[in-house]
C-alpha cells in the first residue's frame, strides 16, 4: 500500500510553496493519497498569490480536500493511517495553536495527532520578523517532535524563477518526509 500524507496551507504568504509540495507529492509514485487542508485565510492567500482555488488543487491526482470545520474528519484521528503532515506555509497563528496543543481547527487537530502518534510533522513557518513568542513556540513544537523548517529558500542552485525556488524547497520538504527524489538543483559542493 502506498503512503498517505496531509498537506495544510494556512494564512501566511508563500502558498506557491505549498502548491509545489502538493504537486511533487501528487506525482510521486510512492504516494497513494493526499489529504488537503486549507485554513480560511490560507484559501484567501492561495487565491491572492496564485489565482488558484481549493477545488483546482483537489483536481490533482491523489488529492482530496477536507473541510476545515469538520473536526471529525479522518485526519483528526490517531487511528487514521498516514505517514506525515506538512504545513506550508505555516502561519504564526497555526504554529501558536499547535504549540499550545489546542485543537479548535482541523489543521491544529491533525497536527496534534501527528505529534501524539510520533509521525513526521513539518512546519514551514512563514513569518518575519520573529518575536519572542514565535521563537518560543518553534522551540516548543521542536521539543514535541515537529520539524521546524522556515520558508527560507536556497539560492545555491542559481534559480531563474520563483518556481525554481519553490521546487528546490519542495525537494527539501520531501526529504524530511523520507521521500528523496533526484533533483538537479541539489548542492554538489
- Domain 3-176 coded CATH 3.40.50.2300: no
The alpha-carbon radius of gyration of the chain (Å, integer) is 15
**Element spanning 139, H or E:** helix 132-144
Tens-digit pLDDT profile for the chain (189 aa)? 789 999 999 999 999 999 999 999 999 999 999 999 999 999 999 999 999 999 999 999 999 999 999 999 999 999 999 999 999 999 999 999 999 999 899 999 999 999 999 999 999 999 999 999 999 999 999 999 999 999 999 888 889 999 999 999 999 999 999 997 766 566 677
For cell 476545515, what's the residue?
68
CA distance 64 to 154: 30
DSSP-based three-state secondary structure for 11: coil
Can you give the pTM of this predicted structure? 0.95
- Cα separations in angstroms, 170 against 8, 99, 179: 14, 24, 11
Strand partners, 31: 3
Q: How far apart are the first and last CA of the chain?
A: 37
Amino acid at each position: 500500500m502506498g503512503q498517505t500524507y496531509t498537506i495544510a496551507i494556512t494564512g501566511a504568504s508563500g502558498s506557491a510553496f505549498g502548491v509545489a509540495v502538493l504537486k511533487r507529492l501528487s506525482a510521486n509514485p510512492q504516494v497513494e493519497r493526499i489529504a488537503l487542508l486549507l485554513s480560511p485565510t490560507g484559501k484567501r492567500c492561495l487565491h491572492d498569490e496564485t489565482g488558484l482555488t481549493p477545488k483546482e488543487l483537489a483536481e490533482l491526482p491523489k488529492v482530496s480536500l477536507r473541510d476545515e470545520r469538520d473536526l471529525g474528519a479522518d485526519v483528526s484521528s490517531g487511528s487514521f493511517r498516514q505517514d506525515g503532515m506538512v504545513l506550508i506555509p505555516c502561519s504564526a497563528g497555526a504554529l501558536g495553536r499547535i504549540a499550545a496543543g489546542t485543537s479548535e481547527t482541523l489543521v491544529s487537530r491533525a497536527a496534534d495527532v501527528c505529534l501524539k502518534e510520533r509521525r513526521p510533522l513539518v512546519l514551514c513557518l512563514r513569518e518575519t520578523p520573529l518575536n519572542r513568542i514565535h521563537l518560543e513556540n518553534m522551540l516548543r513544537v521542536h521539543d514535541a517532535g515537529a520539524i521546524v523548517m522556515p520558508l527560507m529558500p536556497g539560492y545555491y542552485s542559481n534559480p531563474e524563477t520563483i518556481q525554481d525556488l519553490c521546487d528546490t524547497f519542495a525537494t527539501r520538504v520531501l526529504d524530511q518526509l523520507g521521500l528523496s527524489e533526484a533533483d538537479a538543483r541539489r548542492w554538489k559542493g
